[in-house]
């Protein structure tokens, strides 16, 4: 399929580059480093070879979210966003941008998102999970009350918020002790992000701000498969759910969330996600440079879905959600 749009596609600046070094084996680092730093060279060649018209770029992980000094987090977010704005301006037909945000401080994050959307035309924000603030073990999740004014700004700006994974901090990761292979995309990324998303849904956030648009990668971090059980556990007891939200969790998942194919190139999983949230809420992505563009595109172009759904997922859903112009 030609004209695809991909939106979980990362880059790094010198201040954040080494954050990505530990995710893959040491011998792969020279290749990964080159992929992260490049924007207008091999990246465009990969896009051209595999039918990708536009990438929405975002900073690597955990980057800003792992800087527990609030002033430093704000400085790096602004530096990354300024750099990205300049790169997008060189070729806006091929590249658009997500803002990095210092969510250690909701007010700083609100101001930075407004700056990026209003001054640079960024298409939303991508945030790498919880933020550490004040100390490495102080992990802040965005259902907490201090974040609700930030969410009001997100809704007012009418831009999507991409909730991207990160690993749990060591102090909160005892379940993985001695089993480091479970960290990262194998399991911990999905578990951490799914719980964060469920916290948002259960907090009443979407009752207060019903027009929020949240994007999750990797076919929804396992949530489509589990959504029925979330709402129907032990149904015979008639017990009311013990959360602040006023409606079943699945209703928020269906109405406020979009899912991408990033790093999860499996047709059975795609069909399950389509059955749960519909083809109208799924978006093509690759997860470059951590996954290969050819793996993503070759699978997607040939997977057993209708051509109408392929066009929606590959292009028109993203055009509409991110207001990219003519569909």
Per the rule left: phi > 0, alpha: psi between -120 and 50, beta: everything else, 84 is alpha
Which H or E element spans position 238?
A: none
- Cα 295 to Cα 297: distance, rounded to the nearest angstrom: 6
Torsion of CA 130, 135, 137, 140, to 10 degrees: -30
- Cα 127 to Cα 77: distance, rounded to the nearest angstrom: 11
CB 37 within 8 A of CB 11: yes
Question: Could you identify the residue written with the tokens 């990246």?
Answer: 43
Q: 43: number of CA atoms within 13 Å, CB side?
A: 27
DSSP characters over 258-319? EEE-TT---HHHHHHHHHHH-GGGEE----TTTS-HHHHHHHHHHSSS-HHHHHIIIIIHHH
Question: Could you identify the residue written with the tokens 């955990």?
Answer: 62
Catalytic residue among 137, 287, 301, 309: 287
Q: Which of 222, 235, 231 is nearest to 252 (CA)?
A: 231
Is residue 158 part of the annotated active site? The answer reads no
Residues with catalytic function: 287
């Amino acid at each position: 399929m030609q004209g695809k749009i991909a939106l979980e596609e990362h880059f790094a600046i010198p201040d954040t580059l080494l954050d990505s070094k530990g995710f893959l084996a040491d011998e792969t680092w020279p290749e990964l480093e080159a992929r992260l730093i490049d924007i207008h060279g091999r990246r465009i060649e990969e896009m051209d070879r595999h039918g990708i018209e536009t990438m929405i770029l975002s900073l690597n992980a955990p980057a800003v979210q792992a800087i527990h000094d609030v002033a430093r987090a704000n400085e790096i977010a602004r530096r990354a966003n300024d750099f990205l704005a300049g790169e997008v301006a060189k070729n806006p037909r091929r590249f658009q941008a997500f803002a990095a945000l210092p969510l250690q401080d909701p007010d700083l994050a609100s101001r930075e998102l407004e700056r990026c959307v209003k001054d640079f035309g960024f298409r939303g924000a991508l945030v790498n999970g919880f933020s550490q603030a004040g100390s490495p073990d102080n992990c802040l999740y965005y259902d907490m009350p201090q974040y609700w004014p930030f969410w009001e700004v997100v809704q007012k700006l009418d831009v999507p918020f991409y909730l991207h994974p990160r690993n749990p901090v060591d102090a909160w990761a005892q379940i993985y002790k001695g089993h480091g292979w479970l960290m990262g995309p194998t399991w911990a990324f999905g578990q951490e992000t799914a719980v964060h998303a469920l916290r948002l849904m259960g907090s009443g956030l979407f009752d207060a701000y019903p027009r929020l648009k949240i994007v999750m990668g990797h076919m929804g971090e396992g949530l489509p498969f589990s959504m029925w059980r979330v709402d129907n556990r032990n149904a015979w007891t008639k017990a009311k759910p013990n959360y602040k939200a006023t409606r079943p969790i699945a209703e928020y998942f269906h109405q406020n969330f979009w899912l991408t194919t990033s790093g999860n190139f499996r047709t059975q999983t795609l069909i399950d996600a389509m059955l749960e949230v519909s083809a109208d809420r799924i978006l093509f992505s690759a997860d470059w440079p951590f996954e290969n563009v050819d793996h993503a595109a070759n699978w997607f172009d040939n997977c057993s879905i209708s051509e109408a759904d392929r066009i929606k997922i590959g292009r028109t859903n993203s055009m509409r959600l991110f207001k990219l112009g003519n569909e």
